[in-house]
Amino acid sequence: MERNFLIWVLRHFCRKSALPYSRALRAQQTSLIRARASPNVTKGACFWLPGQDNPAQITKRETALRDQWMEFIFTEHQRSCASVFVCSLHFEDACFTNKAQFDDGFAYRLFLKDNAIPTKKGHDRVLEPQALYVGGNAALIGQKLASNPELVVLLCGPVGPKLHDMLDEQIVVPPESLQETDEFHLILEYKSGEQWGSARAPQANRFILSHDVSNGEMSTLETFVASLEDFQPDLVVLSGLHMMEGMGRDLWEERLKEAVVAISDVRNEVPIHLELASMTDRDYMNRILQEQVMPIVNSVGLNEQELLFLAQSGGGPHADLTSWDGIPDVGRVSDILLWILEQHGRADPQSEADLTRIHFHTLAYHILATVDGHWGNQEAAVSAGARVASSQACGLQDVDITKVILKAPLTFHSSFSEPRESLAVDPSRPVTVWSRGNVSFHLTPVLVCKHPLRTVGLGDAISAEGLVFSELMPRPEL
């Protein structure tokens, strides 16, 4: 049976680079040309752009030519270095004999012409992108859902030509969503232990810069509304609300109200999932939590940072914590999840809120919290999310046990305070289940990739897999 999924996309296109800077240069195969200042050559670095991989060694015999190189590289007060590397970005394309072949991938190194002289100085030269990927919460969830041949995804949002070419064939883009240019996100991704200046990364993570004006203004809201009747989705996924945070209170107040009206147009029997992302404005998050979006969606996906920020913004349990100390305590996480479903969801049968499901994911474990009677197949859903976290981080189709490690606590408590239940992970059935009132919790450890290739998009893949395996129970007739 073919199922339709509508993704309201507010973030789309990522531009990925890596840290440190020299690694970015390596990945795009920037050649390093070595200028010999003396016969006693030692390894060095480009005077402006650091890096030293596989340099092409060039000997300059002509004194005049050599002097021009030296004048370019050094000022009159900087003549003490025995040798340096000059990055290829400091040369005009015409200085190379094989620039076209190198750009097309047929040459491993660039070769300079005999009379070539470096002329480009400064840091204003923009690096060519190391890698381009489909990005943004909704687009990544859409890509993951579209990998299932039985699903068709409608992606509403500003879609430029590069993004459009990269989307799965199962993804349909409304004509109103197409635009002449792409929106970009720059992802600076680094591995555990990598160093930048005096800072050393304690774990793999990334830093994201966005140039996403269209999504920040929620410009596709009207396209989303117009698509509902024709597409008739079986699931609606919302994301990117965090992009409005920096647009100013007047704009996000008005657009949030319009978004609530738009969401209300979705048929009651169609589940709505909201994928959260990091925010810093507590007033804005509190508005989403209490007065606007959260009570009218059925499902939410979030990580440990977003969960704690929700508690801090809404005055929930453990709001006094400034941050998690290492792996989030399961009891504290359980307390906050229960508070959200009781205070802003449908844990109370008399509540008018629709929220009945929260998919929480952190590095070491995942928890699926659901209000009883609304969702089924929770064990498979939370397990599927954990499995894809392991395989995608390692860049594999399946989990390779030699490349993963277990970091989840094997014993924990159902709550941070009394009364609480002592629980343990059973290796033969690694989904631990407990209940608090009419809310059920399903926890599974994650096999954490030892050397992740990519961390971007893991949360989106986790949520997508969990949604595919989740079963929404029909609402009782009134």
Q: Which positions are annotated as active-site residues?
A: 460
Site of tokens 């890698």:
131
424 phi, psi to nearest 5 deg? -145, 150
Does residue 54 come out as left (phi exceeding 0), alpha (psi in the -120 to 50 range) or beta? left
141: helix, strand or coil: helix
Whole-angstrom CA distances from 393 to 26, 99, 191 are 21, 35, 12
Question: CA-CA distances (angstroms) from residue 300 to 345, 400, 459?
Answer: 11, 30, 12
CA dihedral 445→450→456→462, nearest 10 degrees, is -20
Tell me the CA distances in angstroms from 49 to 84, 121, 248, 332, one per residue in order: 11, 10, 38, 46
Radius of gyration of the chain (CA): 26
Instruction: Yes or no: say if 85 and 45 are a contact pair by the CB < 8 Å rule.
Output: yes
Residue type, 377: N
CA distance 388 to 141: 13
Grouping H, G, I as helix, E, B as strand and the rest as coil, residue 105 is: coil
Residue 200 buriedness (CB in 10 A; 0-12 / 13-18 / 19+): exposed
Peptide bond into 55 cis (omega under 30): no
End-to-end CA distance of the chain: 29
- String of DSSP letters for 307-354: HHHHHHHHT-TTTT-SS--SSPPHHHHHHHHHHHHHHSSSSSTT----
